[in-house]
Amino acid sequence: MQASSHAGQSRERLPILDQKTSRRKVTRYGLFGLLGAFTGISAVATYKMLYPTKVTGFGAKVNAGTVADVKTLLAGQKYIRNSVGRFYLLPAAPDAAIAVYWKCVHLGCTVPAPSPALDGNIQCPCHGSLYNGQTGALIHGPATHPLDYFPITIDNGSVIVDTGKVTVRQDYSPDQATKLG
Binding site for ligand FES (CB under 6 A): 104, 106-109, 124, 126-129, 142-143
Q: Which is nearer to ligand FES, 123 or 134 (CB)?
A: 123
Q: Which is nearer to ligand FES, 71 or 103 (CB)?
A: 103
- Residue 142 CB, shortest distance to ligand FES, in Å, is 5
Q: Which is nearer to ligand FES, 25 or 127 (CB)?
A: 127
- Residue 103 CB, shortest distance to ligand FES, in Å, is 9
- Residue 84 CB, shortest distance to ligand FES, in Å, is 22
Residue 132 to residue 111: CA distance in whole angstroms: 12
What does each C-alpha distance from 77 to 12, 49, 71 come to in angstroms? 98, 42, 10
- Residue 107 CB, shortest distance to ligand FES, in Å, is 4
Residue 50 to residue 33: CA distance in whole angstroms: 26
81 φ, ψ (degrees, to nearest 5): -95, 125
CB 163 within 8 A of CB 60: yes
Q: Which is nearer to ligand FES, 116 or 142 (CB)?
A: 142
Strand partners, 99: 89, 150
